[in-house]
Amino acid sequence: MSDRIFGGIGMILAIIFAWQASIIQESFLSDAVGPKTFPYLIAAIMALASAYFLVKPDPEPDWPRAGRLAEIAFAALVMLAYAQALPELGFLIATALAAGYLTWRLGSSPVQSVLIGVGTSAGIYVIFRLLLGLSLARGPFGF
């Protein structure tokens, strides 16, 4: 039943996506493919995948207990808080806090979680900011 619900929601989203793609205004200077092709392709793939879930669902899964679902919901709230904190705290601090909390909830010890959070944050910062030169949110300390 849950796969069919998922497939139905996916099919509705595919239809909305295709409808939104159909109302894209094309410029007279567009290329041969046009701006609608890629959204139509994505909508078609989404519709096919959703149709598969509608036609051939998997057996019912074992859903986690209410406490575990609440923990999953709280992890999603942490990700929303991360997005809100990113401009205020900056990439390094916000990412270290979010990664540290999430790894702790996944089973790491508190000390390991702090190390993983700081290491993840620093590693991504080095790769994206220092090596690739991409812009990341600056925090109160300017980095």
pLDDT at 30: 67
Regions of the chain with pLDDT less than 50: none
Grouping H, G, I as helix, E, B as strand and the rest as coil, residue 137 is coil
The answer to whether the beta carbons of residues 64 and 72 sit under 8 Å apart is yes
pLDDT at 64: 82
CA distances from 47 to 7, 83, 133, 143 (A): 9, 30, 38, 43
**How remote is the C-alpha of 58 from its chain's centroid?**
24
